[in-house]
Amino acid sequence: MNHLYLCSAQQKRYLALLEDAALPDLQITEDISKANIILADPPKFAPELEKAENLQWLQSTFAGCDALFAKPRTDYQLTNVRGIFGPLMSEYVIGQLLTLTRHFAHYRDAQLESRWSPVPYQGLTGKCMVILGTGSIGAHVAKTARHFGMQVMGVSRSGKAVEGFDNVITNAKMTEAFSKADVIVSVLPSTPETRGLLNRDTLSACKQAILFNVGRGPVLEEEGLLDAIKDGNIQHAVLDVFSKEPLAPEHPFWTHPFITVTPHISAESFPEQVFGIFVDNYTRWQNGEPLNYQMDFTLGY
Q: Please pick, among 13, 251, 264, 284, the residue that the annotation labels catalytic.
A: 264
Instruction: Note if 147 is an active site residue.
Output: no
Judged by DSSP in three states, 29 sits in coil
Sheet containing strand 77-79, strands side by side:
26-28, 2-7, 37-40, 57-60, 77-79
Q: How many CA atoms lie within 13 A of 51 on its CB side?
A: 11
Alpha-carbon gap, residue 300 to 227, rounded angstroms: 29
Instruction: Note if 102 is an active site residue.
Output: no
Judged by DSSP in three states, 88 sits in helix
Q: Please pick, among 140, 195, 216, 236, the residue that the annotation labels catalytic.
A: 216
Contact status, residue 129 vs residue 78, Cβ threshold 8 Å: no
Contact status, residue 115 vs residue 136, Cβ threshold 8 Å: no
Give the per-residue SS3 of 193-233: CCCCCECHHHHCCCCCEEEEECCCHHHECHHHHHHHHHCCC
Alpha-carbon gap, residue 187 to 181, rounded angstroms: 16
| One-letter amino acid of 179 | S
Give the per-residue SS3 of 250-283: CCHHHHCCCEEECCCCCCCCCHHHHHHHHHHHHH
Alpha-carbon gap, residue 48 to 44, rounded angstroms: 8
**DSSP-assigned states of every residue in 155-194:** EESS----TT-SEEEEGGGHHHHHTT-SEEEE-----TTT
Catalytic (active-site) positions: 216, 264
